[in-house]
Amino acid sequence: MPKQTFLNLPDEKRQTVVNAAIDEFAEYGFESASINRIVANSGISKGSFYQYFDDKMDVFKYLMDVIAQEKTEFFKGKHPPSPGLGIFGYFRWMIKTGMEFNSTNPKLVKAIARVLLGEGMYYGQIFNDVRKKTMDTLVTMIQHAKQNGEIDPSVDEKVAATVMDTWSNVISNSILQEGMQKKDIVKWVRTPKTQKYIDDMLSIMEHGLRNVKASSIDDAGKEE
Amino acid sequence: MPKQTFLNLPDEKRQTVVNAAIDEFAEYGFESASINRIVANSGISKGSFYQYFDDKMDVFKYLMDVIAQEKTEFFKGKHPPSPGLGIFGYFRWMIKTGMEFNSTNPKLVKAIARVLLGEGMYYGQIFNDVRKKTMDTLVTMIQHAKQNGEIDPSVDEKVAATVMDTWSNVISNSILQEGMQKKDIVKWVRTPKTQKYIDDMLSIMEHGLRNVKASSIDDAGKEE
DNA sequence: TAGTCATGTGACCGACAAGTCATACGACTG
DNA sequence: CAGTCGTATGACTTGTCGGTCACATGACTA
């Protein structure tokens, strides 16, 4: 947690520091991020930094808190689709709304994602909690969907959750990666082409790659 | 490329250096890997290291060469399944045979994967070639599979290739991650449970998550 | 024997890292 | 006025990094 000193700061200065930290993590990841560069780019002194935060991890955790809070705020103003759409409709809504959110602060999202999905995998406990939480949510969703007959009851719930989580990350990342090079990322995300890409990916997740119409004949009994 | 000096080394010494490098990359990734630690752990002097390799990237590229060569060698001794099994059968065989290979040198595979899938994403050109090559292979496979009516012709080929590549990585990684904690990884990979996990994942890739039998009724026309 | 050449060595260099601390400044307080 | 409290500062310590280089060793050669 950042110390009180930091929270007392005038908004503008605080934001400058936060922005410098975001830039640093987005560019270098966690391990290679340099506090020296952060203080240089935000125009504060080294001593001040250590009066604001304990260490590098402390700033990063603060950024995670910020994004979590902003996300909650953002999703509050949105209404989920009618429950009749089921898990796939809900998931699609989540991804698309999530992308709208990501567009509002793409660099921060990219920074967090880079650390969590990259180095985070090898950092043990610290980041695992986040991962576990989303996995648990997904498993619950899947259990409901199974009861509604929406998801094949024979697929393992944990496996399905992994699939959905992976999917979500792959989509977000690729969209963010490309979108950050556009002038107006919000507009670009809303583009029919981008929306179609999301739909295509989710459709594959839902129905698979196989061509059901043509393959049902020569398939039977052939696979091991 | 490592210099001749390194290739002239007695096998045992050379292997010691290679092993130290593998351990280092597997544990710390590329950016944070330390040449100082590598030389300390392999019992050679700093000067010797720089008589063997140009720099850190040079060692790493050498490891990539080693693994590429070993993999080619390994796959030479295996026969692919009959072409009648189609792309999904072939892909499954590839994954499973790949996992057999991975088990023969898990740490090296893990080290390479960690760098390629982690930092590699942000390193530009250098590692992109590898990625592009596998993507091209996949796209070609998919084009064939479309002609055979195996893959839904409406799905974008690039999207499908991304899906298969992602899948392959997710499966390999999760299996390797868990398998490395077992006493006998080769035996564990051949376990019915592990094999079932692979089959389950690939089956979802092929058929999707949706329960086709139950959902066809209440679905029609509801989705946006 | 003297010379040469491939190989090995680790002290040393400059760069940069994280983190500390004596000092300074200004606002408020008694 | 003196005192003190929150905040700001950057030189400094300690440590690691990648990389270099003058020198050592030992085998082979003329």
Express each pLDDT in A201-219 by its tens digit.
999 999 999 988 764 444 4
- Say yes or no for a CB contact (<8 Å) between B211 and A84: no
Taking CB atoms and an 8 Å limit, are B163 and A209 in contact across chains?
A: yes
Mean pLDDT score of chain B: 92
| Radius of gyration for the alpha carbons in chain B, expressed in angstroms and rounded | 21
Q: Beta partners for A177?
A: none
Rg (alpha carbons) of chain A, rounded to whole number: 21
Cα A112 to the center of its chain, rounded Å: 8
pLDDT (0 to 100) of residue A147: 93
- Report how far residue A55's alpha carbon sits from residue B112's, in angstroms, rounded to the nearest whole number: 30
pLDDT of residue A123: 83
Please count the residues of chain A: 224
- Chain A residues within 8 A of B211 when measuring between CB atoms: 146, 149-153
Determine the CATH number of domain B1-65: 1.10.357.10
Second-level CATH architecture of A81-209: Orthogonal Bundle (1.10)
Rounded Cα distance between B157 and B154, Å, is 9
> How much is the ipTM here?
0.91
A77 beta carbon < 7 A from strand C?
no
Q: How close is the nearest chain B Cα to the Cα of A179, in Å?
A: 16
Q: Do B211 and A122 touch (CB under 8 A)?
A: no
Per-residue pLDDT tens for A77-122?
999 888 888 999 999 999 999 999 999 999 999 999 999 998 988 8
- Which nucleotide is closest to the Cα of B6 by its C1'? C7
SS3 call for A210: strand
Residue showing tokens 């999905």: A117
User: Which member of B29, B159, B214 has the closest CB to residue A201?
Assistant: B159
Q: Is the CB of A96 under 7 A from strand C?
A: no
Find tokens 């720089």 and name the residue: B50
> How far is the alpha carbon of B47 from chain A, nearest alpha carbon, in Å?
26
Give the Cα-Cα-Cα angle A134, A140, A141 (nearest 5 degrees): 90
Distances (CA, A) of B68 to A34, A223, B71, B109: 35, 30, 5, 10
Nearest partner of A97 among A76, A128, A124, judged by Cα: A76
pLDDT of A172-205, one tens digit each? 999 999 999 999 999 999 999 999 999 999 999 9
Percentage with pLDDT > 90 across chain B: 83
Query: For the stretch B116-140, what's the b/e string if a residue is b when 16 or more beta carbons lie within 10 angstroms of its beta carbon?
Result: bbbbbbeeeeebeeeeeeebeebbe
Per-residue pLDDT averaged across A15-32, rounded? 97
CB contact under 8 A, B224 and A89: yes
Considering only the beta carbons, identify the residue of A85, A159, A210 that sits closest to B206: A210
Contact call for A29 and B122, based on CB within 8 A: yes
C-alpha to C-alpha distance for B198 and A156, rounded to whole angstroms = 12
Instruction: Please state the domain extents for chain A.
Output: 1-77, 81-209
| The model scores a pTM over 0.90 | yes
Alpha carbons A63 and A17: distance in angstroms, whole number: 11
Chain D bases having any atom below 7 Å from a protein CB: 6-12, 16-22
Q: What does the pLDDT read at residue B121?
A: 86
Poorest-pLDDT segment among A160-164, B117-121, B179-183 = B117-121
Q: Does A196 touch chain B (CB under 8 A)?
A: no
Nearest residue of A to residue B88 by CA position?
A210
**Angle ∠(A30,A34,A38) on CA atoms, nearest 5:** 110
* A149 reaches B (C-beta below 8 A): yes
B51 CA to C18 C1' in angstroms comes to 32
Specify the nucleotide whose C1' lies closest to residue B40 (CA): C10
Q: Can you tell me the mean pLDDT for A42-71?
A: 97
Q: How would you write B174-188 as a 3-class SS string?
A: HHHHHHCCCCCHHHH
- Provide the angle, in degrees to the nearest 10, between the axes of the packed helices A192-207 and A157-179: 160
CATH 1.10.357.10 fits A1-77, yes or no: yes
Task: Give contacts of A162 with chain B, Cβ < 8 Å.
Answer: 170, 174
Whether pLDDT at A221 is above 80: no
What is the fold, at CATH topology level, of the domain defined by B78-217? Answer: Tetracycline Repressor; domain 2 (1.10.357)
Rounded percentage of chain B residues whose pLDDT exceeds 70: 95
pLDDT value of position A217? 43
Phi-psi region of A151 (alpha: psi -120 to 50; beta: other; left: phi over 0): beta
A125 pLDDT band (50/70/90 cuts)?
A: confident
Query: Which residue type occupies B110?
Result: K
pLDDT band of residue B16 (cuts 50, 70, 90) is: very high
B1-65 and B78-217 share one fold: yes
Confidence (pLDDT) at B214: 61
Contact criterion met (CB below 8 Å) for A101 and A75: yes
- Cβ atoms of A59 and A3 within 8 Å: the answer is no
The DSSP secondary-structure symbol of A203 reads H
pLDDT at A129: 87
- For chain B, first and last CA: distance in Å? 55
Q: Separation of CA B21 and C1' D22 in angstroms?
A: 28
Residue A200 CA: distances (Å) to CA of A100, A191, A209, B157: 18, 14, 11, 11
Q: Annotate chain B with three-state secondary structure.
A: CCCHHHHHCCHHHHHHHHHHHHHHHHHHCCCCCCHHHHHHHHCCCHHHHHHHCCCHHHHHHHHHHHHHHHHHHHHHCCCCCCHHHHHHHHHHHHHHHHHHHHHHCHHHHHHHHHHHHCHHHHCCHHHHHHHHHHHHHHHHHHHHHHHCCCECCCCCHHHHHHHHHHHHHHHHHHHHHHHCCCCCHHHHHHCHHHHHHHHHHHHHHHHCCECHHHHHHHHCCCCC
